[in-house]
Amino acid sequence: MSNLDVPYKIYLDESEIPSSWYNVRADMKEKPAPLINPATHKKLRVEDMTPIFCTELAKQELDDDTAWFEIPTEIQDFYRMYRPSPLTHAVFLEKALDTPAHIFYKFEGNNTSGSHKLNSAIAQAYYAKKQGLRGVTTETGAGQWGTALSMACAFFGIECKVYMVKVSYEQKLFRREVMRTYGASVTPSPSMETKIGQKINAEHPGTTGSLGCAISEAVEVATSTEGYRYVLGSVLNQVLLHQSVIGLETKKACEKYGIKPDIIIGCAGGGSNLGGLISPFMGEKLRGEADYRIIAVEPKSCPSLTRGRYVYDFCDTGMVTPMAKMYTLGHDYIPSPNHAGGLRYHGMSPILSKLYDDGYMEATSVEQTSVFQAAEQFARTEGILPAPESSHAIRAAIDEALKCKETGEEKTIIFGLTGTGYFDMTAYESYNDGTMVDYIPTDEELEASFAKIPKIDL
Amino acid sequence: MSNLDVPYKIYLDESEIPSSWYNVRADMKEKPAPLINPATHKKLRVEDMTPIFCTELAKQELDDDTAWFEIPTEIQDFYRMYRPSPLTHAVFLEKALDTPAHIFYKFEGNNTSGSHKLNSAIAQAYYAKKQGLRGVTTETGAGQWGTALSMACAFFGIECKVYMVKVSYEQKLFRREVMRTYGASVTPSPSMETKIGQKINAEHPGTTGSLGCAISEAVEVATSTEGYRYVLGSVLNQVLLHQSVIGLETKKACEKYGIKPDIIIGCAGGGSNLGGLISPFMGEKLRGEADYRIIAVEPKSCPSLTRGRYVYDFCDTGMVTPMAKMYTLGHDYIPSPNHAGGLRYHGMSPILSKLYDDGYMEATSVEQTSVFQAAEQFARTEGILPAPESSHAIRAAIDEALKCKETGEEKTIIFGLTGTGYFDMTAYESYNDGTMVDYIPTDEELEASFAKIPKIDL
């Protein structure tokens, strides 16, 4: 293969799977704003969080100083079932684009959950098991997190209750059956099983749901069921910590083969993949050891970084969670039902929000039809049919590579290919049929949503 | 991980992907019976086959003597997109079974087609392109072959028309959209678009189709459309040749890590996976250099090896193809609609049929509910949600491992995990709901089907 100066697909050895997670907060001079109690506005302590979260995870959540957390052996063993994941040189895509750019992608989809979500799911299930819990509750949007958590809970033999955003539940029957095969119970959200679900259904009749609603329901059930805690697949600091395995492997592969990225790109919904992918690179940047352009890509229909406010807001629609300072569209924001994929969370990881606000990274937003165009081109050239979420990053990577074609620059681009689209064929069908439409919220819609964010004066 | 004496997941280097295919026929003292013209009963020559098949593939089909075929560079490059595939030590399954057996599986599902079928699809698309054809037609059952061929044709920029067994077409809408995303046209079979489809629909009103019907339609269209040829994803000698990459990689991984299999297990529908997996091991056995127990596993609902006749029969329902001597249930045999997965072909690879008839391998058949039990256990312990087809091999591997538990023998078992079940969730749903039923054809049903096989006196 003529244009290969490194192996096409870079697999590390099993021994090179990280044995510690990296906590980027340790290298941030200015830390992300703390989680606060919505009633008292006081900074949360571990003991405030443990009624909702597993104790060990609450500690990880609040630890801004420890740079490295050793990965427990049981989790390392599980990682070996599907890690290390390959860093692939997109030679066929480069050829199709006729670009001088070098494009690489870190592919996290080679496991049954179909995405990177398993990296944190197995950690969270492990700590729940270790704490002697009976089970955990969670929400899922596109279904990747719910699938990942179901797999992790089956592995450790604990129960798993999933509240699934209704529109996804209806579009993704196959996802439900995967979760059931792993022994989980799956409920469409908002349901009539919880108080908050009943309230949301009453206020928004016919709603197709949102991650914010599903979080509220899962938290309500976790806090009212003996031996249960709530777990979350994105947004939280602990999740970015676990997802650092993506970036650590990527960095090791780059070092091993002399790849020096100029641009690192990731899709961003709650921020788990992007945060994990960039963490060791961002660490270098924060310590002044190297510089990279880092780009978050979000849907134009759910543009938290590019059009949101950087303020304290609730993490859920029902206002039952602590408040986080983050880029948010308002905890009540629900993207149009036309929006096909994931990346539908109203807020953004507090870590990424802070880094973005401090100018350490950029953000861009893209329309979904252009995302599916990129997905189709990628599928046909690189073979892998990507998840709609991941395809946001593909879109941006292609756009950067085409800019290189204009300027003649040989930039090296790495993007995160978070997962596969095998359960997203309803969305692909509407693209294939030409019936997919784009949706961009108006300023007025966003203002109305912002107006519902409580004003917090600290 | 305490019970690991070798790495958990054995990835070869890219440089260890085979550069030649191995043709097991070269080491067979008694060759498989030749394909014959159904009218004249004469042995087919290359020129008899080229109206239907690509010329280079026809040559491979009829070559019983050349042991090694160099893999063209373009195909080797494509293989690097998803190969080498891992040979995984099933440590978590072993632990769950509490067996002294060592279980390994060669996993071919880490690509968008979801199975090993891509290994031959890319070869066949390459030779079609090289011959200057406009496109190819084919049939698909569970949809894996159709998906694989769509990907391969998209890669080389040729057209792809797929006739999909109606029951699968209806159960697997997602498969259709994957094929469409890769630019293929997909028609449920039997259709009303072909003469043979019309005839089959008239004779079997309400039929849910069979691979045999779909083959007839695809052949009719290939031979009546300018610039088209027909390609097939299993059964044929050429397909087993291409699939030898599975076995060659498996053998190399075994040699590298000192694994000596006692038993090699594969599911068998048309025989492509099993034939590919065992080929280099069978070569050793044929040359008297080593011995292995080799077990073909088929569904009790479509038991060609275990209950079929070893006679000349048509490869398709419509009797438009050449005739092959193989284990067959009769070209008219259509498994019950209760049968959920693939492995629904009425016949069996002539190579495997000959080897089985000569005593070089064993065969067993299993019921589908026990297959899904094995699939569930495998998914929960090893993480990967397997295809129903592959799960036949899992069932047999678990049964052999449980025998070892009784006897205390530390046998080493390798099985082929041909693919993932992500598009098979309708079948999993019926298993999860407890509504799945088993089906075993009666002797009378089989006799009626055998009666339709033409008597050939050579």
Give this complex's ipTM. Answer: 0.93
Residues A379 and A335: beta-carbon distance below 8 Å? no
Q: Which two tokens stand for residue B404?
A: 């070892």
Whether the CB-CB separation of A54 and A128 falls below 8 Å is answered with: yes
Question: How confident is the model over A139-157, as a mean pLDDT?
Answer: 94
What pLDDT, on the 0 to 100 scale, is given for residue A340? 76
The residue ranking higher by pLDDT, B344 or A296, is A296
Q: Cα A410 vs. chain centroid, distance in angstroms?
A: 29
Average pLDDT over residues B292-314: 97
| Residue A439 contacts residue A339 (beta carbons within 8 Å) | yes
Q: Has residue B1 got a pLDDT over 50?
A: no
pLDDT interval class at A386 (50, 70, 90):
very high
Q: What is the number of CB-based contacts under 8 A between chain A and chain B?
A: 124
Q: How confident is the model at residue B171 (pLDDT cuts 50, 70, 90)?
A: confident
What's the burial of B284, exposed, middle or buried (CB within 10 Å: 0-12/13-18/19+)? middle
**Model confidence at B4: pLDDT above 60:** no
Burial category of A108 from C-beta neighbours within 10 Å (exposed 0-12, middle 13-18, buried 19 and up): buried
- pLDDT at B3 (0 to 100): 43
CA distance B316 to B270: 12
Name chain A contacts of B180, Cβ cutoff 8 Å: 428-429, 432
Mean pLDDT computed over B292-319: 95
Interchain proximity A383–B110, CB inside 8 Å: no
SS3 category, B406: helix
3-state helix, strand, coil in chain B (%, to 5): 45, 15, 40
The verdict on a CB contact (< 8 Å) between B8 and A112 is no
Q: For strands A228-230 and A309-314, give the pairing.
A: unpaired
Partner A, chain B 198-257, Cβ-Cβ below 8 Å = none
- Give the C-alpha separation, B454 to B437, whole Å: 33
pLDDT of residue A8: 81
Give B-chain residues touching A382 at CB under 8 angstroms.
81
Q: Return the bridge partners of B327, or none.
A: B310
Q: What is the pLDDT of residues A24-43, one digit of tens each?
A: 999 999 999 999 999 999 99
Which residues touch B37 (CB under 8 Å, ≥6 apart)? B44, B48, B322, B323
The confidence score (pLDDT) of residue B213 equals: 87
Q: d(Cα A220, Cα A161) in Å, to the nearest integer?
A: 12
- Say if residue B205 is preceded by a cis peptide, omega within 30 of 0: no
pLDDT confidence band for A3 (50 / 70 / 90): very low
3-state secondary structure chain A: CCCCCCCCEECCCHHHCCCEEECHHHHCCCCCCCCECCCCCCECCHHHHCCCCCHHHHHHHHCCCCCEEECCHHHHHHHCCCCCCCEEECHHHHHHHCCCCEEEEEECCCCCCCECCHHHHHHHHHHHHHCCCCEEEEEECCCHHHHHHHHHHHHHCCEEEEEEEHHHHHHCHHHHHHHHHCCCEEEEECCCCCHHHHHHHHHCCCCCCCHHHHHHHHHHHHHHCCCEEECCCCCCHHHHHHHHHHHHHHHHHHHHHCCCCCEEEEECCCCHHHHHHHHHHHHHHHCCCCCCEEEEEEECCCCHHHHCEEEEEECCCCCCCCEEEEEECCCCCCCCCCCCCCCCCCCCCHHHHHHHHCCCCEEEEECHHHHHHHHHHHHHHHCCCECHHHHHHHHHHHHHHHHHHHHCCCCEEEEEECEECCCCHHHHHHHHHCCCCCCCCCHHHHHHHHCCCCCCCC
Q: What is the mean pLDDT of residues A86-101?
A: 96
pLDDT in tens, A406-427: 999 999 999 999 999 999 998 9
Q: Counting Cβ atoms within 10 Å, is residue A225 exposed (0-12), middle (13-18) or buried (19+)?
A: middle
Please list every residue in chain A whose beta carbon sits closer than 8 Å to the beta carbon of residue B112: 379, 383-385, 420, 422
- Mean pLDDT of the B299-312 span: 97
Q: Quick one: DSSP state of residue B31?
A: P
- Bridge partners of A293, per DSSP, are A263
Q: How far is B16 from chain A (nearest CA, A)?
A: 12
The per-residue pLDDT for B6 is 57
pLDDT at B147 over 60: yes
Radius of gyration of chain B (CA): 20
Tell me which of B169 and A305 has the higher pLDDT: A305
Query: Would you state the structure tokens that stand for residue A110, as one six-digit string?
Result: 């080679």
Read off the tokens for B341: 């997965």
Strand ranges of the sheet holding B159-165, from the earlier edge strand across to the other edge: B185-189, B159-165, B135-140, B228-230
Give me the pLDDT at residue B382, please: 96
> Residues of A with CB below 8 A from B90's CB?
none
pLDDT tens, position by position, B50-79: 999 999 999 999 999 999 999 999 999 999
pLDDT digits (tens, 9 = 90+) for B78-135: 999 999 999 999 999 999 999 999 999 999 999 999 999 999 999 999 999 999 999 9
B72 touches chain A (CB under 8 A): no
Q: Is B310 helix (H, G, I), strand (E, B) or coil?
A: strand
Q: Which residue(s) pair with B365 in the sheet? A: B298
Cα A40 versus chain centre, distance: 30
Partner-chain contact A9 B80, CB within 8 Å: yes
Confidence check: pLDDT of B2 > 60:
no
Contact B178 A385 (CB under 8 A): yes
Q: Which of B10, B16, B80 to mutate to test the interface with A (most CBs of A within 10 A)?
A: B80
- Separation of alpha carbons A12 and A32, rounded Å: 33
pLDDT score of A127:
98
C-alpha distances in angstroms, A299 versus A355, A370, A440, A445, B271? 20, 10, 9, 16, 45
Task: Answer yes or no: is pLDDT of B209 > 60.
Answer: yes
Has residue A160 got a pLDDT over 60? yes
Q: Do A155 and B111 touch (CB under 8 A)?
A: no
Contact B3, B90 (CB under 8 A): no
Give B-chain residues touching A111 at CB under 8 angstroms. 383-384
Question: Which pLDDT does position B280 carry in this prediction?
Answer: 98
A95 contact B CB<8A? no
What does the pLDDT look like over A204-260, one tens digit per residue? 899 888 888 899 999 999 999 999 999 999 999 999 999 999 999 999 999 998 999
Chain A residues within 8 A of B253 when measuring between CB atoms: none
Instruction: Please state, rounded to an integer, the average pLDDT across all residues of chain A.
Output: 94
CB-nearest to A382 from B81, B114, B432 is B81
pLDDT at B393: 98
**Taking the C-alpha atoms of B343, B345, B350 and B355 in order, what is their torsion angle to the nearest 10 degrees?**
40
Reported confidence tier of residue A5, pLDDT bands at 50, 70, 90: low
CA-CA distance, A362 to B197, in Å (whole number)?
A: 57
Which chain A residue has the Cα nearest residue B77? A1
Per the listing, tokens 């890509």 go with A297
Exposure on the CB side of residue B34, measured as CA atoms within 13 A: 16
Q: What Rg, from alpha-carbon coordinates, does chain A have?
A: 20
State the pairing for strand pair B68-70/B20-22.
antiparallel
Instruction: Name the B residues in 264-293 with CB < 8 Å from any A CB.
Output: none
Whether the pLDDT of residue A308 is over 80: the answer is yes
Chain A interface disruption, residue of B17, B81, B394, most A CBs within 10 A: B81
Least confident of A246-260, A405-419, B338-352, B359-373: B338-352
Say if CB B249 and CB B116 are below 8 A apart: no
